[in-house]
Structure 1
Amino acid sequence: MSSYEHSDPFDQGMLTVSSIHRLHYEQYGKPDGKPIVYLHGGPGGHTQKSNTSYFNPAIYRVVLLDQRGTGKSQPAPEIRENTTPNLVSDIEVLRVHLNIPKWHLVFGGSWGSTLALLYAQAYPDVVGSLLMCGIFTTRKSELDWFRGPTGATSVFPEAFEAFVNYLPPEERDDLTGNYYKRLTSDDHATRVAAAREWNRWDLSIGSLKTDESNFKQLDDEGWSVPHAVLEAHYGMNNFFLEDGQILKEENLAKIRHIPATIIQGRYDMVCPPQTAWELHKALPKSKMIWIPDAGHTPKEPGTQIKLLEACDAHASLDIEA
């Protein structure tokens, strides 16, 4: 199954959302089509035109936005006035700005799935359906899988040792905190060097089979520094959420009526598959799709195919305005 090709955006702009932040957004596809918002990963990722490839341009009106402090949004990187509630509110501000009565589909992968769930819980009446992959709900157990004593660190011990050993021995008991000090240093070279090593760990475990070409991103300061700075910023602040907040009964109850598709790589080393399964069991209108030969990244061949199929399936859903 081939992906979709879109023409250049039919609209783009900058939206002021605080005294500091202006968000960059772009719109693709059919101007009067079924509106979908694409929520990128991170924290600290950004959007690009290739993100539209899952969505049929003859059906969908595709909205991309760069979250606060990332991509073409300004200023970047910026951690002031940059919290999870801020990002969730921004999605709603953008919907109103674009005069979209209701999203036909809210699409999010990894950190984007976090925001998709939080946004749906905050604004359930304007979310028609959800499509999420690489599920992340910010629980301590999930973070322990990612950088703790079990999970990915035991599967990729040599990559994790390199990540740890970048810091001097006396600073290795608080990896996030001591990386964060370097990532927010006044010295540019210190920030860039720390960002390279922070992101190297992420890239080392993102795919079922490591693609060495992915590490070229480490040389792109425009990607590497915001990604590391904001990921560490959110990690230092427990993602500005209570532990387990998204999966609390009272919050899940708000979105049980929303059709959802959950796609998860069986061998995801970034976001433990257990979380996707727990979410699926809690949402009666969800469909669970396991990718047997995939890790975390949506670029895995099996994941890409299922995302395309799911987006086509969601296009046919009868969503009440």
Structure 2
Amino acid sequence: MYPPIEPYEKGRLDIRASQFPVADIPPVVCNDPLVVVFLHGGPGGGVDPKDRQFFNPDKYKIVLFDQRGAGKSTPSACIDHNTTWDLVADIERLRDKLSIEKWHVFGGSWGSTLALAYAQTHPNRVRSLVLRGIFTLRKSELRFFYQDGTSHLFPEEWSRYLRPVEPRKRDDMIKAYHSLLEDPDEKIRLGAAKAWSRWEMATSRLFVSQDSLERAEEDDFALSFARIENHYFVNDGFMRDGQLLEEQSIAKIRHIPIIVVQGRYDVVCPPTTAWALKMAWEANGAESASFTFHLVQDAGHSSREPGIEKKLVEAADEVVEKY
């Protein structure tokens, strides 16, 4: 990782939608000349100052922003007018506001979903894609993590995750949590938010991070993270099942160089989805730009694991030199 740096410019992107209050999305910009936009995970996770450290500040202008309802974006935890396609439009508004013709797009987990959706909508605005922990919001992916899959590997944490939900409602945990997270009782909402957030924080690394578990107990973070994530997942990401992997979708972006970094033991976004993306990219011998696939053997899901960090830094260095 590159040394910590401070942004030289901060600002807000004001978005007005009908029957919706102003949504302030704060972009953070660092040095010239080429531009990378960093798309955070969740949805609802928000950016972290350390996210700048994937990039060489002597090579890149670095753009970080909190997506609708996340981090310093306001209104916090708001799910009104908050869909995949609203966020895609926000990214394009931000590019236009900053007078950037084309940029590199870098995203992990939900950030990889959003990066693919953005690139497929605006393919001529993307120089390269660096993606980590591929997630395409298919029903099978959601079921594995929230219903029947990861639960077999983390039974003690799964038991904690089950507690807020009545046994008769446990056949659809995403739907059950949606009711809890929208409950009129603030105590119930917050308890559910912390349980939802802990489940992901407890399973994201090969070795559980105490700092991550403590973050799941922070009221503001937990509520924003859980409420927005659940809103997206209960609505299937506002797209067709498998839409991002369809031939008509992949064909739009095959000309874009892509580097994928995936943890072998990622139980949040398992390697099968990254492999499905690779197979879709290379289907029928179609002509394409380079597809580079790094499977990190000693890592789970988190971008903060050493092997993942190393490969992401190398990927960011490679694309800025080549593309």
TM-score, normalised to structure 2, is 0.93
Distance apart, 1:225 and its partner CA: 0.6
Distance apart, 1:280 and its partner CA: 1.8
Moved more, 218-227 or 18-27: 18-27
Give the whole-Å Cα distance in 1 for the aligned partners of 2:140 and 2:83: 21
Is 2:322 the counterpart of 1:317?
yes
> In percent, how many aligned pairs have the same letter?
42
Distance apart, 1:21 and its partner CA: 4.1
Aligned 8 A contact 1:8 1:28 in 2: no
1:35 aligned partner: 35
Aligned 8 A contact 1:261 1:310 in 2: yes
1:50 aligned partner: 50
2:261 aligned partner: 263
1:232 aligned partner: 230
Give the whole-Å Cα distance in 1 for the aligned partners of 2:166 and 2:277: 39
2:125 aligned partner: 126
Distance apart, 1:67 and its partner CA: 0.5
Q: Secondary structure at the match of 1:63?
A: strand
Q: Secondary structure at the match of 1:88?
A: helix
1:174 aligned partner: 172
> 1:193 is matched by which residue type in structure 2?
G
Aligned 8 A contact 2:201 2:216 in 1: no
Deviations 1:48-78 (A, max 9, x none): 2111000001110000110011111110110
Paired residues for 1:238-249 under 5 Å: 238-249=236-247
1:73 aligned partner: 73
Give the whole-Å Cα distance in 1 for the aligned partners of 2:132 and 2:22: 28
Aligned 8 A contact 2:76 2:224 in 1: yes
Deviations 1:256-306 (A, max 9, x none): 010000000000000120110121233352100010000000111110111
1:114 aligned partner: 113
Aligned 8 A contact 2:47 2:71 in 1: yes
Uncovered stretches (5+) of structure 1, i.e. residues with no partner:
none
Distance apart, 1:10 and its partner CA: 1.4
Aligned 8 A contact 1:23 1:66 in 2: no
Give the whole-Å Cα distance in 2 for the aligned partners of 1:57 and 1:313: 14
Is 2:88 the counterpart of 1:88?
yes
Give the whole-Å Cα distance in 1 for the aligned partners of 2:221 and 2:22: 18
1:63 aligned partner: 63
Give the length in aligned residue pairs: 313
Distance apart, 1:125 and its partner CA: 0.3
Match of 2:297 among 292, 298, 308: 292
Distance apart, 1:6 and its partner CA: 4.3
2:140 aligned partner: 141
Uncovered stretches (5+) of structure 2, i.e. residues with no partner:
282-288
Q: Secondary structure at the match of 1:18?
A: strand
Distance apart, 1:205 and its partner CA: 1.0
Aligned 8 A contact 1:4 1:56 in 2: yes
> 1:190 is matched by which residue type in structure 2?
I
Q: Secondary structure at the match of 2:73?
A: coil
Give the whole-Å Cα distance in 1 for the aligned partners of 2:81 and 2:278: 33
> What value does the CA root-mean-square deviation take over the aligned residues?
1.3
